Amino acid sequence: MDQSHEFCLVCCEPLSVAAIGSCDHRGTCAVCSVRMRQLLSDQSCILCKRTLEAVIMTANHSKSFEDYSMWGTVCRSGGRELTYDEASQSFFEDEEAYNELVQLRSLSCPKCPPGSREKSGMVNMKEYSAHMTAKHRLVLCQLCVENRKVFVQELEIFTKNELRQHEVSGDKDGGPFKGHPLCEFCNVRVFDDNALWTHLRRQHFSCHICETQRQVTNEFYANYPDLEAHFRNAHCLCEEDECLAQKFIVFASELELRAHCSSVHMSSAPRSRRHVP
């Protein structure tokens, strides 16, 4: 098979080392396959969606999955045992591809010279980040560390000024990333638009009447007092003390408010329309 015409369906790079499973489809390269299986917990074939309990990373594009002998975590081909990667439940026939993966996942400092004492030895991301700051005056974007499904060595490293630009305006080369959205109420940045939407829904307030009547879904208020002021100005808020304490007792029309006052407060008129000494 002519490898020059094959490309990974995820990263679109030439498919030199492919992942094959029991379906025998070659759709992803070794790195993208491991990323899907380990970081995204997705063991399905990108083409037929069959769940693949194990895959084999091979540069031999003429072999099928059945050409390999497999027993649990042992896989052989031509009398040779393949390297097993437990994190992704993958077998590597190509050692160079496996070593590349190990390097991508390592906590090895990309700035320290090879062989130096500080080149490796970090045991977690906290130590890795601390080393970058103390030794090289560089920082990682914590939002990217916590949310991007990439390997350690694929994370960008910034100066403090570069990090500020990354957060505010995104890729300096004009790429698709436009920065991490800011919650203007909290002055806190979140990972992406979906995270901002979730944050606004959980931490702030919206008007259910506006959402129903006007189909407005992107107007938010910092806190309940601000929302209550909106209720009072734009809708029909029940001003009785018990309803104010209960919160969210507001109506779309004067007629609905009068019906509420009649049934709950034994009055035919809202408090604001009655003479209250």
pLDDT digits 0-9 by tens, 197-231: 999 999 999 999 999 988 777 899 999 999 999 99
Are 101 and 130 part of one and the same domain? no
Answer yes or no: is pLDDT of 93 > 90. yes
The four Cα atoms 182, 184, 187, 193 give a dihedral, to 10 degrees, of -20
List Cα–Cα distances, 119 to 8, 109, 114, 131, 157, in angstroms: 32, 5, 7, 10, 16
Whether 61 and 96 share a structural domain? yes
Looking at the structure, tell me whether residues 98 and 135 fall in a common domain. Answer: no
Question: How many CB atoms within 10 Å of residue 56?
Answer: 27
Rounded to 10 degrees, the C-alpha dihedral 153/159/134/115 comes to 40
Higher pLDDT, 276 or 122: 122
Instruction: Say yes or no: 68 and 129 in one domain.
Output: no
Asked whether residue 130 is assigned to any structural domain, the reply reads yes
Same domain, 72 and 28: yes
**The pLDDT of residue 5 is above 70:** no
Residue 194 domain flag: no
Does one domain contain both 27 and 81? Answer: yes
The confidence score (pLDDT) of residue 275 equals 41
Stretch 48-59: mean pLDDT, rounded? 96
Is 2's pLDDT higher than 80? no
Average pLDDT over residues 59-68: 93
Taking the C-alpha atoms of residue 3 and residue 15, their distance in angstroms, rounded to an integer, is 7
Q: Return the half-sphere exposure (C-beta side, CA atoms, 13 A cut-off) of residue 113.
A: 1
Segment among 2-16, 99-113, 237-251, 257-271 with least mean pLDDT? 2-16
CB 256 within 8 A of CB 231: no
Average pLDDT value over all residues in the chain:
91
In angstroms, what CA-CA distances link 123 with 21, 113, 118, 129, 142? Answer: 32, 19, 12, 11, 17
Q: Is residue 196 part of a domain?
A: no
- The verdict on 85 and 139 lying in the same domain is no
Band (pLDDT 50/70/90 cuts) for residue 277 is very low
Helix (H, G, I), strand (E, B) or coil at 55: strand
In a domain, 112, yes or no: no
Residue 193 is assigned to a structural domain of this protein: no
* DSSP category for residue 7: B
For residue 3, pLDDT over 90 is answered with: no
260 to 204, 239, 269: CA distances (angstroms): 27, 12, 9
Regarding beta strands 90-92 and 55-58, do their DSSP bridges make them parallel or antiparallel, or are they unpaired? parallel
> What per-residue confidence (pLDDT) applies to 246?
96
Q: Are strands 83-85 and 90-92 parallel, antiparallel or unpaired?
A: antiparallel
Whether residue 236 has pLDDT greater than 90: yes
User: Which pLDDT band, with edges at 50, 70 and 90, does 276 fall under?
Assistant: very low
Q: What is the pLDDT of residues 119-139, one digit of tens each?
A: 777 889 999 999 999 999 999
Name the nearest CA neighbour of 200 among 176, 184, 180.
Answer: 184
pLDDT tens-digit series, residues 166-188: 999 997 776 788 999 999 999 99
pLDDT at 4: 40
pLDDT recorded at residue 271: 63
Do 144 and 216 belong together in one domain? no
Please state the domain count of the chain.
3
Both 146 and 234 in a single domain?
no
The predicted model gives 50-70 an average pLDDT of 95
Flag whether 111 is in a domain.
no
User: In this predicted structure, what is the pLDDT of residue 115?
Assistant: 76
Q: Provide mean pLDDT across the span 152-171.
A: 94
Q: What is the pLDDT of residue 239?
A: 95
Is there a single domain that holds both residue 83 and residue 28? yes
Tell which of 105, 138, 162 closes a domain: 105
For residues 63 and 152, membership in a common domain is answered with no
Q: Which domain holds residue 61?
A: 3-105
What is the residue whose two structure tokens read 């910034």? 158
- Domain identity same for 62 and 7: yes
Which structure tokens are listed for 262? 């009649």
In a domain, 189, yes or no: no
Which residues face 205 on adjacent strands? 221
Cα–Cα distance between 221 and 188 in angstroms, integer?
15
Quick check: 142 pLDDT over 90? yes
Any domain includes 53 = yes
| Phi and psi angles of residue 46, each rounded to the nearest 5 degrees, phi first | -70, -20
- Choose the weakest-confidence range: 173-182, 244-253, 254-263: 173-182
